[in-house]
Structure 1
Amino acid sequence: MAWDTERTKGLLLEAATSEFCTRGLAGARIDRIATEAGVNKERIYQYFGNKNALFDAVIVAALSSLMDEVPIEGRGPEAMADYAGRLFDHHQKDATAPRLLFWEGLERGTEVVGLPKRMANCASKVNSTIAALPGISREDAGDLLITIVSLCDAAPVLPALDGLMTGGGPERAERRRAAVVRTVYLAAAALAAEAQEPLNAPAATA
């Protein structure tokens, strides 16, 4: 029987995603990943090279999936607020991307994995933001996206701090979502207004 390489890679990526989300890069163990996947650990080295390369593959796969699952749609500040709300909802159901990104930041600092793919994904998001808010600069679009990502990613990875700050409660996630959406709407509206200022400025008189 021929070995199903793609299925094996999928099993390893799934097991590795769980391991890295829970323990980070330094704490993850190849033996545990292989056991969870039901695959000989030599397959990890054969397909991915080493633990660092496997971590790279996990992050790229998770973020690429997120790009497809939560697109920016529509135009205006409402579109960016809607995107933030949907991203918040996604992370409440599946905290994989936030956890991986926090571990990456803690353990790797500014080192970026999967650079070409991730640069293309980020450029696509920036372009979508500019399309939603015509006239804003690429830097402003990037700043707005970082704000959205920071707000949405923090919710599932800082639960203790959230509870200390707010007291928690059964409707906490709903209230936090509303705060995120409101913040993003106001930020996007301010950028949109600034982008239109030259068009609305009165003509100079002689």
Structure 2
Amino acid sequence: MLTRRLVALYVGLWLYGTSMAVMIRAGLGLDPWDVFHQGLAAHLPLSFGAVTALTGVVVLLAWIPLRQRPGLGTLSNVIVIAVAVDAGLWLIPAAESLWVRVTAMLVAVVVNAAATVLYIGAGMGPGPRDGLMTGLVGRTGWPIWSVRTGIEVTVLTTGWFLGGSVGIGTLVYAFGIGPLVQLMVPLIDGRLPGFAPTPAQRPTPTTPQATTC
């Protein structure tokens, strides 16, 4: 079970970073946090991956007053995604024709959703940015949607002013990532601890033994 979780964690994180690189190469707009990362990278002598890692570390510092505790997945998130996105940007050329760019953008969003399901499903600690959201929800009592929206609008606006790429890809990601993740969750439902088994998979009250992973 631990091996399965570790594979899901690191495959998910690597695919997440790779999908970020594909989205950048498509050049049709990025998700809110990557708009922020790209905007910062334009003003710092650092690679995109390094800026991503640096942002993750700063966000982790904000966990301290929120009393959030990092896990293996949290620390791995900072390192693996940064390496994966820089490797992807090194290997993947910029798309030229519009249809290739649109296809790349759509593929990136789908892969990002699959990577998110694997990473969360591993159940080994939230990423820095997700932990910031849950920590703020826990401390303020505000609804999740309002906290998440507030964070993403803030980083998107800041990144846009810094020169980050906002476009149709930003909208596709914003409206597509949630439904895609929801569609993919049943594929690993009950197989990894980050997602509970569906009702059909749970033992009935008369069944003495529990299900196994």
Q: Higher Cα Rg: structure 1 or 2?
A: 1
Structure with more of its chain in helix, by fraction = 1
Relative contact order, higher structure (CA 8 A, sep 6+): 2
Query: What is the TM-score with the length of structure 2 in the denominator?
Result: 0.31
Query: What is the TM-score with the length of structure 1 in the denominator?
Result: 0.32
